[in-house]
Amino acid sequence: MAAGKLFTLLVIATLLALVGAWVVGRSYRKSMQRLMKAPVADEARRSEDVQHPLPVARQGMFPSFDDNNDAHRRLLFSFIGLTLIIALTRTVMTQFIADGPITLKTVATLGAAYAWPVLPVLAVIGRWSRLRFVGAMLGWLVFAILLLSWRTNESISFAQVVGWMLFDTGLPLIVVTALCLGGATRAVGPWLAPLFIVLSGASQLGLDFLGALIAAESPFVVWLAGWMGATTAFTLFALLPWLIAWWPARALGRWLAHAYRERRISELFYLFTAVWTIALTGPGLGLIASLGWGALVCFAPLLWIPLGALLMQRFAAPAMAGNPPTLLILRVFQQDANAQSIFDRVIERWRLSGNTVLIAGTDLADRTIDADDVFTFLDGRLGERFIGQTGDIDSRLRQFEFQPDVEGRYRVNECYCHDNTWQQALDRLVGISDVVLMDLRNFKAKNAGCIHELGVLAEAKNLARVVILTNSETEHGAAQAAVVNAPAGRFVWIDQGDNLKPADVLATLFPAPKPNAAS
């Protein structure tokens, strides 16, 4: 295929991935709502004969807020450092292929301009807003243009620099920004993109076959166009190959889900690799005419990524010593904005220190959906995730992943519950948790589910701390009455209103060590 066809294929695949991510995200939430309300057998309510799992015993000290900050800095510096190595490698290779100068000035300038793929990863780590992410991407493009204009000689005009950067960097920036712009597209789109590349490639082959038939003046094409019309025939040749391509695309999706489930790939490294692949595709397409298959050498800098993952895993090892603590997230349901704000600004940082468990809900679906969830849903097996009876809870807990990914972040584990199984699941989740963060902003006494959760937390034996978030709309009297029998000092109440201060909340989740902890 010519470079133009490949470029068109990638653009179409990106657009399809965006639409597909929106459709999957919307359908996923609707399916969750339907399954949560679906009735199950009454035996699911009888939990007295089922033995509760013992809490996980920790080895070593409970991590501190300073440990979390150190882990966050290590994560940022690791990805920034890996980005610079890849960008500098790309610069040297580009200059070598173009027979250009390889000087410290040239390599440093181009390397800085080429280092933009770190931004989407930083955006995911920090859960940047859409406006901040778009602003950062556009700002980097402007910075690169100004930097190159300043460092190039007078023979290269500003217009030439702008045109070159728009082709080399601007188009990949647009593709990446589109894939990472919204909640559902950022969580689902990158996983669907490879599938749509396969399907779009099949469509291109179908159209190439149609073009060959037309060039050969095939009577079949003449008859087909006369029978159904030229537009319909064109559409048929574009979409009919999907009947065949769907099977390898589906197999690819299942392989991605399995690799993610087995921790062979992580969300951050998958996104990092995808972004760099997009960034290197433009130069590769530009060299097809002169190098042919040799243009694949443009992707050689990607070889740094598996090596970087191995080094990062070893670099993050001190933060992973012992069994990490487990945080249970509880909240007032149907408060989507509050729940998403807590997840973006607090839970994402907590993941550098320990595990997170929660009862799944539609309010956090865009934040917690992963590759395994996406392809389980597409296979029509989302209902298998739901706990239908009490005996299913322990088997679901055994499927939880409590080991960190290679970059040192721990995953979020969910229990999918029906309306009449969530209380039994809550008992088990409390049993394996060390700390709890409960968002009671806008809580009312009529929220019977929250009252039940507070009672369970008050009676639990193993919790180190329960942090409660409130605001002016919270009915404090009803909440405090539900925990009147709790051990002294277990509950920490934080009233921050709607102006959430993530650092204060995060710091409160780490109990202070006892005075004799070091002895």
* pLDDT at position 53 over 70: no
Mean pLDDT, residues 480-488: 91
Give yes or no: residues 158 and 263 share one domain: yes
Within-domain flag for 471: yes
pLDDT of residue 513: 57
Give yes or no: residues 189 and 278 share one domain: yes
pLDDT of residue 168: 73
* pLDDT at position 128 over 80: yes
Give yes or no: residues 347 and 290 share one domain: no
Within-domain flag for 57: no
Q: Which of 315, 335, 354 is the last residue of a domain?
A: 315
Element (H, E) at 386: strand 386-387
CB 43 within 8 Å of CB 75: no
Give yes or no: residues 117 and 252 share one domain: yes
Within-domain flag for 24: no
The proportion of the chain whose per-residue pLDDT surpasses 90, expressed as a percent, equals 48
Within-domain flag for 329: yes
Of the CA atoms within 13 Å of residue 479, those in its CB half-sphere come to 22
Task: Enter the tokens of residue 471.
Answer: 């605001």
Give yes or no: residues 257 and 363 share one domain: no
Give yes or no: residues 366 and 294 share one domain: no
* pLDDT at position 138 over 90: no
Cα 351 to Cα 58, 292, 326, 348, 515, distances in angstroms: 17, 45, 10, 5, 26
CATH number at residue 452: 3.40.50
pLDDT tens by residue, 215-228: 888 888 888 888 88
Whole-number mean pLDDT of the chain? 86
What is the DSSP pairing of strand 435-439 with strand 412-417?
unpaired
Q: Which of 292, 315, 338 is the last residue of a domain?
A: 315
Which of 13-22, 116-125, 315-324, 482-491 is predicted least confidently?
315-324
CB 368 within 8 Å of CB 14: no
Give yes or no: residues 335 and 290 share one domain: no
Within-domain flag for 515: no
- Tally of domains in the chain: 2
Within-domain flag for 171: yes
Work out the pLDDT band at 167, boundaries 50, 70, 90: confident
Q: In the 3-class helix/strand/coil scheme, how is 218-269 assigned residue by residue?
A: CHHHHHHHHHHCHHHHHHHHHHCCHHHHHHHHHHHHHHHHHHHHCCCCCHHH
Structural domain range at position 335? 322-508
Give yes or no: residues 260 and 389 share one domain: no
pLDDT of residue 57: 44
CB 327 within 8 Å of CB 436: yes
Give yes or no: residues 309 and 353 share one domain: no
Within-domain flag for 66: no
Work out the pLDDT band at 47, boundaries 50, 70, 90: very low
Q: Which of 250, 285, 315 is the last residue of a domain?
A: 315
Give yes or no: residues 383 and 482 share one domain: yes
pLDDT tens by residue, 358-408: 999 999 998 999 999 999 999 999 999 999 888 889 889 999 999 899 999
Give yes or no: residues 151 and 192 share one domain: yes
Query: Model pTM?
Result: 0.87
pLDDT of residue 74: 92
pLDDT tens by residue, 405-428: 999 999 999 999 988 889 999 999
Element (H, E) at 327: strand 326-331
Within-domain flag for 184: yes
Which of 76-80, 85-89, 185-189, 352-356 is predicted least confidently?
185-189
Give yes or no: residues 307 and 449 share one domain: no
